[in-house]
Amino acid sequence: MEKVRSHLMLCSGTGCVASGTAKIKTALDEELRKRGLSDEIKIVLTGCNGYCAEGPVMSVYPEEIFYQRLTVEEIPNLVEEHFLKGRPYQKLMFREPEKKAAIPAMKEIPFFKHQVLRVLRNKGLIDPEKIEEYIARDGYQAAAKALTEMTPADIIQTVKDSGLRGRGGAGFSTGLKWEFASRVPSEVKYMLCNGDEGDPGAFMDRSVMEADPHSVIEGMIIGAKAIGAHYGYIYVRAEYPLAVKRLRMAIDQATEAGLLGKDILGTGFDFELDIYLGAGAFVCGEETALMRSLEGKRGMPRPRPPFPAVKGLWDKPSVLNNVETLAQIAPVILNGAEWYRSLGTEKSTGTKVFALTGAVNNVGLVEVPMGIPLRTIIYDIGGGIRKGKKFKSVQLGGPSGGCIPEHLLDIPVTYEDIVATGAIVGSGGMVVMDDNTCMVGTAKFFLEFTADESCGKCTPCRVGTKILLDMLTDISEGKGKEGDIETLQDLSRDIITTSLCGLGQTAPNPVLSTIRYFKNEYEEHIHQKWCRAGVCRNLVTFQIDEKLCKACGACLRACPAKAIVGEKKVPHKIIQELCVHCRTCYDTCKFKSIMILPAGFEGDPQEFLEKNAVGAKEEK
């Protein structure tokens, strides 16, 4: 290997590519060439780093200095400062939101500091398109160990002992799943990977497939050996072209290296792997629907039993594991169950990757040991709520999950504790909401998604989600009626108990959990015609608090409807007839002088707001 002074690990995950990695790469190449550094400094395109919001990002090795928000214009400065003069370039470094001090080292940045990387062990460190780099990081050692030193029973026992649970959402023991399939006698079995990540806002699996495709393949080889499968498919949604491209490359390279195909590593074990592109239906993340889709049929779930371990793809015993689950297999095999259990809690072991997003300062992909408090993730890693606003709730588990309010933020992130709140760990979507979020609107948003994605097979899900959505829409438009909350709850429970698959059985969760913690908002929408977040346009009146207004004119200039009048030193006023209830003034005002009041409000606003100033409280 040629000797180089520095490696520039430039992120080329989907997020950074979207924000301009390609241009940065060209600019860097150009600049390094110009300065005669091309031989000393090598650019490596890596998979997703996780800190997508600050992209394009790059870390410089061996110093591990982290640069973010790279721009083509700044590249000459960066190269000159860092690589010629030896002074890391502060302008592109991370700065703490409050103190504004630049932090050069990646591991010192709060976003990275609290993370423990197991699934994402290779993120930003290797070129995902080169199998050698994966192998250099102990890649395929676990597969070799599993194929040469371990019996299927050994593998299953190790995975069982590790306590690893399926990361796709349901949290079923991976070892047990393998054991079931291994016990069913059949000449043909299938080892399948679920890369049909469908939760809005979730991109854990995509990142793994893009940043470290071989880790998934290695997990599948080990799983195939454990259950006795010789064929496998990775089901990836077609919307992930980069993941597909890298998986294909990885499969080709692994096949060429004798790690896939016939007689792997001379052990006599065959495993052939292929990719199947899904058309992106959410329900195809459900295992039976995914298998139907893989068969080329309409992706609809079917009743279980028979479970896929007995009758799965083409009615043959099949195991379907999530990408993130599979990526953890190799370290488990290599380091043992005890090592894996060293993190996490008794029943929720190891680490979990979350896609942290929403109203936090640092959004991106985070991997944390299970059992750490939610608050740590949101405030320490996430850097707290953006723009100094107040935290309202966090949605866990995407459209199948629920919201968790402020007073529960100290619960540990484990499967059991999260379920007790009415949410689920799910695949790891974590959407943080501030106090400008309408909780009825939140429920409506998720129901729009599930009603649209319901496959239409079973009555409660097909019709029920549509009715829930229609009722939520009514409530948000001011057409809510007495009794709607009870009907929503009643219908939700019936949908949950009667639906065929996980989609319908969880789709009403956002409704139930928002009612559970924010019933007051529903009541305000229905009875007071008031959306306290100012989101539901029919349910607000915006007024300016003259005592707080500094007459700065900011709102006046921002108002798209020219509904605000005023002049210097005279507190401004909103002309209600012209107001389109867009909330721009509220978001613009730095002095909190805009009041959100019920539709058609008359009376003393201060008195009203004081009387109704209640936070989230749990339903008794």
Q: Given the rule CB under 8 A, which residues bind other proteins?
A: 281, 283, 298, 302-303, 305-306, 451-460, 462-467, 470, 487, 490-491, 494, 497-500
468/549 with CB nearer other proteins: 468
Nearest residue to 332 (alpha-carbon basis) of 320, 321, 316? 321
CB 337 within 8 A of CB 162: yes
Rounded to a whole number, what is the distance in angstroms from the first to the last CA of the chain?
66
Residue 289 CB, nearest distance to other proteins (Å)?
Answer: 11
Q: Give least dist CB 450 to other proteins, A.
A: 9
Smallest gap from residue 495 Cβ to other proteins (A)? 8
Output helix, strand, coil percentages for the chain, rounded to the nearest 5: 45, 20, 40
Minimum Å distance from CB 466 to other proteins? Answer: 4
Contact yes or no for 448/469 (Cβ under 8 A): yes
Nearer to other proteins (CB atom), residue 369 or residue 460: 460
Q: What does the alpha-carbon distance between residue 465 and residue 496 come to, in Å, rounded to a whole number?
A: 10
Nearer to other proteins, 486 or 567 (CB): 486
- Cβ 448 to other proteins, closest distance in Å? 11
Q: Fill in the DSSP letter of residue 482.
A: T
Sign of the dihedral defined by the CA atoms of residues 524, 465, 355, 48, in that order: negative
Residue 306 beta carbon to other proteins: minimum distance, rounded to whole angstroms: 8
In angstroms, what is the minimal distance from the CB of 491 to other proteins?
A: 7
Judged by beta carbon, residue 499 or residue 541, the one nearer other proteins is 499
Of 410 and 490, nearer to other proteins (C-beta) is 490
Residue 387 tokens read as 């723009």
CB of 371 to other proteins, least distance (A): 26
Tokens representing 102 are 């630049």
Nearer to other proteins, 335 or 498 (CB): 498
Q: What is the dihedral of CA 218, 222, 225, 227, to 10 degrees?
A: -120
Choose between 75 and 507: whose C-beta lies nearer to other proteins. 507
The pair phi, psi for residue 303, each rounded to 5°, is -65, 145
Beta partners for residue 433, in sequence order: 393
Shortest Cβ 447–other proteins spacing (Å): 11
Query: Is residue 555 classed as helix, strand or coil in its secondary structure?
Result: helix
How does 580-599 read in b/e, with b if 16+ C-beta sit within 10 Å? ebbbbbbeebeeebbbbbbb
Of 256 and 452, the one with the shorter C-beta distance to other proteins is: 452
* Strands 541-544, 594-597: pairing kind: antiparallel
Whose structure tokens read 């002088």? 593
- Smallest separation, CB 299 to other proteins (Å): 9
C-alpha distances (whole Å) from 74 to each of 23, 31, 425 are 12, 11, 40
Nearer to other proteins, 110 or 460 (CB): 460
Q: Which is nearer to other proteins, 137 or 466 (CB)?
A: 466
* Residue 603: how many other CB atoms lie within 10 Å: 9
Largest CA distance in the chain: 86
CA torsion, ordered 400, 405, 411, 413, to nearest 10 deg: 30
Q: How far apart are CA 286 and CA 291, in angstroms?
A: 9
